């Protein structure tokens, strides 16, 4: 795969994610100037027949203001209330801005479960594809108001943007925040230097989580690598510059490029990145070698242990010496596997090779 930026210049379907720090100004208000430049840039891309899906954070911050909180609340119910109040305001703002450049906005709110469930996942893919065909601009955000346990599922929408980019046939992912890219250390460090191209062997010291959102550089790197692993080039860059987005997609040396590392089929992308594993299978060296080197199925004699409780047909993590190297659909329940450990049975595959994704370098 090429490590230059030609793939960005030729990208026709692009996911652009803007973080809370881009949407909000330093005083807590809306950064209308920056958002105006973003809208103009997306309109220019559309005139060039390049399709854009916009993932935007910022709803909770707007809700804090709308509901009269002096600062972002800590309680879950209050945060969800802010998300509900702010999402309408955020969508209305984008709808107004994009209408001025002749674009229609279509809001889509998502949760992690929309990617875990295969049928909902396929429906989402079809819906977003149809919206793009109709000329609409999909505006995506996490449905924070209904998440029952916690709000940090997608990491300030970084993971959400990556899952969308890798599952709707996109050609590029752009993550815009308040930093110019990935640095070897927090940018405040005088010895820190920007990495034009991501290199997994480069030692990197991450900074703190975003003060205004729920992400941080680590969540952006994870999201960018997820996209790259699925064959989608990704860029982490600043959303503070008026021409930043157009420069990135014009192939300029802006931000940090994560070159595509490989290409997985759509089903294997779903297995690898969009699922919530229900348990774990611990395997021996022979089973790992067969799966990784020969793309073989996992048979029962190669399993040393099973963790968790799951039904037949569940997605499970597959581990060797404590490290996950694959993920797949297990043909038997956890109880059946436990009851057969130590067996020499070599009949039906426990995890068939057609239903497994190898996760090397994850």
Cα dist from 260 to 4, 47, 267, 270, whole Å = 11, 27, 18, 17
Which CATH superfamily is 277-358 part of? PUA domain (2.30.130.10)
Cα dist from 118 to 83, 129, 311, whole Å = 27, 17, 16
Specify the pLDDT at position 292: 93
pLDDT digits (tens, 9 = 90+) for 129-180: 999 999 999 999 988 777 665 444 555 689 889 989 988 889 999 999 999 9
As a whole number, mean pLDDT of residues 64-90 equals: 88
> Please, are residues 60 and 72 in contact by the beta-carbon 8 Å criterion?
yes
> Please, are residues 307 and 335 in contact by the beta-carbon 8 Å criterion?
no
Cα gap 4→303, rounded to integer Å: 42
Cα gap 201→204, rounded to integer Å: 9
360: which residues sit within 8 A by CB, 6+ positions away?
Answer: 292, 325
**Would you list the domain boundaries of the chain?**
6-266, 277-358
Specify the pLDDT at position 342: 84
Q: Which CATH number fits domain 6-266: 3.30.70.360, 3.30.70.100, 3.40.50.720, 3.40.1160.10?
A: 3.40.1160.10
Nearest to 220 by CA among 204, 237, 243, 203: 237
pTM for the model stands at: 0.78
């Amino acid at each position: 795969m090429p490590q230059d930026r030609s793939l960005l210049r030729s990208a026709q379907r692009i996911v652009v994610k803007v973080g809370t720090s881009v949407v909000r100004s330093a005083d807590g208000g809306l950064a209308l100037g920056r958002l105006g430049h973003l809208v103009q840039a997306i309109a220019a891309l559309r005139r060039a027949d390049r399709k854009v899906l916009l993932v935007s954070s910022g709803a909770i911050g707007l809700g804090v203001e709308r509901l009269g909180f002096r600062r972002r609340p800590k309680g879950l119910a209050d945060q969800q209330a802010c998300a509900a109040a702010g999402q309408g305001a955020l969508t209305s703002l984008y709808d107004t801005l994009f209408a001025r450049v002749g674009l229609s906005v279509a809001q889509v709110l998502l949760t992690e479960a929309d990617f875990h469930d295969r049928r909902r996942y396929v429906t989402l893919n079809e819906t977003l594809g149809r919206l793009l065909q109709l000329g609409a601009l999909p505006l995506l955000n996490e449905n924070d108001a209904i998440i029952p346990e916690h709000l940090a599922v997608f990491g300030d929408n970084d993971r959400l943007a990556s899952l969308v980019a890798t599952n709707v046939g996109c050609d590029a992912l752009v993550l815009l925040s308040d930093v110019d890219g990935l640095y070897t250390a927090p940018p405040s460090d005088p010895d820190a230097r920007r990495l034009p191209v991501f290199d997994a062997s480069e030692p990197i010291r991450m900074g703190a989580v975003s003060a205004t959102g729920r992400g941080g550089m680590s969540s952006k790197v994870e999201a960018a690598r997820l996209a790259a692993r699925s064959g989608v080039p990704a860029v982490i860059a600043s959303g503070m510059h008026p021409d930043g987005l157009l420069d990135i997609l014009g192939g300029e040396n802006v931000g940090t490029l994560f070159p595509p590392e490989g290409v997985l089929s759509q089903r294997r992308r779903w297995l690898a990145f969009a699922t919530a594993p229900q348990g774990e299978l611990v395997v021996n060296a022979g089973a790992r070698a067969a799966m990784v080197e020969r793309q073989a199925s996992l048979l029962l004699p190669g399993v040393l242990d099973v963790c968790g409780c799951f039904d037949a047909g569940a997605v499970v993590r597959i581990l060797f010496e404590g490290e996950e190297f694959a993920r797949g659909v297990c043909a038997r329940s956890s109880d059946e596997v436990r009851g057969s450990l130590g067996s020499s049975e070599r009949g039906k595959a426990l995890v068939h090779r057609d239903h497994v994704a190898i996760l090397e370098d994850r």
